[in-house]
Amino acid sequence: MNANTFTRAALLGAMVALLPSCSQESKVCSLICDCTHCNDYANDVLCDELSTESDVASAYGCDTEWGDWLTCIQDQGSCNDTTATFEVTAPGSCTGTTSTGVACPTGTCPTTGWTCVSGQCMMRTCQGSAQTCTMDSECTGGVSYCDHESQKLNDCLDHASDRHAPYFKLDL
């Protein structure tokens, strides 16, 4: 290898070393901020948060669980363009019902959207809550697609410490 080739190789190596790394945290940060239209400050805060949480997970020996959680966020998360929100939860379901306390002896209810069941007017609610609804899109708080990975990460953190380890804000 001549000196010229060696110099080029060393220069290329130095340039590659100076390029910013594209960590999994920065990929998740970009996914979320591209969707939610983060300003520079919000982007920096989110990226710093993820980086710090990564360092904590590493200090507790939970790199694998942290990586699995980030992979799930990348693979299962989606951008709701209408609301500019990044979501990792299934849509809610408007399949619950609750009594209105209004009787319907004639089989009809006085309010549109209510149904008469066994002489009582019932209204639809989001499954698992008292929030009234008429369609699924009105319900939030469905099951997180990354609950399993989140639980494994928190279990790892707990197991690695003699006290409860810090829980991360894993509900993006």
| Tens-digit pLDDT profile for residues 58-115 | 999 999 999 999 999 999 999 988 888 898 888 788 888 999 999 998 889 988 889 9
Q: Kindly state whether residue 4 falls inside one of the protein's structural domains.
A: no
Are residue 29 and residue 84 in the same domain, yes or no?
A: yes
Contact status, residue 108 vs residue 152, Cβ threshold 8 Å: no
Same domain, 82 and 58: yes
N- to C-terminal Cα distance for the chain? 52
Torsion sign over Cα 85, 88, 93, 96 = negative
User: What does pTM read for this prediction?
Assistant: 0.63
What pLDDT, on the 0 to 100 scale, is given for residue 18?
A: 33
Q: What is the pLDDT of residues 25-39, one digit of tens each?
A: 999 999 999 999 999
Based on the fold, state whether residues 78 and 147 are members of the same structural domain: yes
- Could you give the 3-state DSSP secondary structure of residue 167? coil
Task: Take residue 123 and report the two structure tokens written for it.
Answer: 């209204």
Residue at 152 is within a domain: yes
> 147: domain range?
23-89+143-160
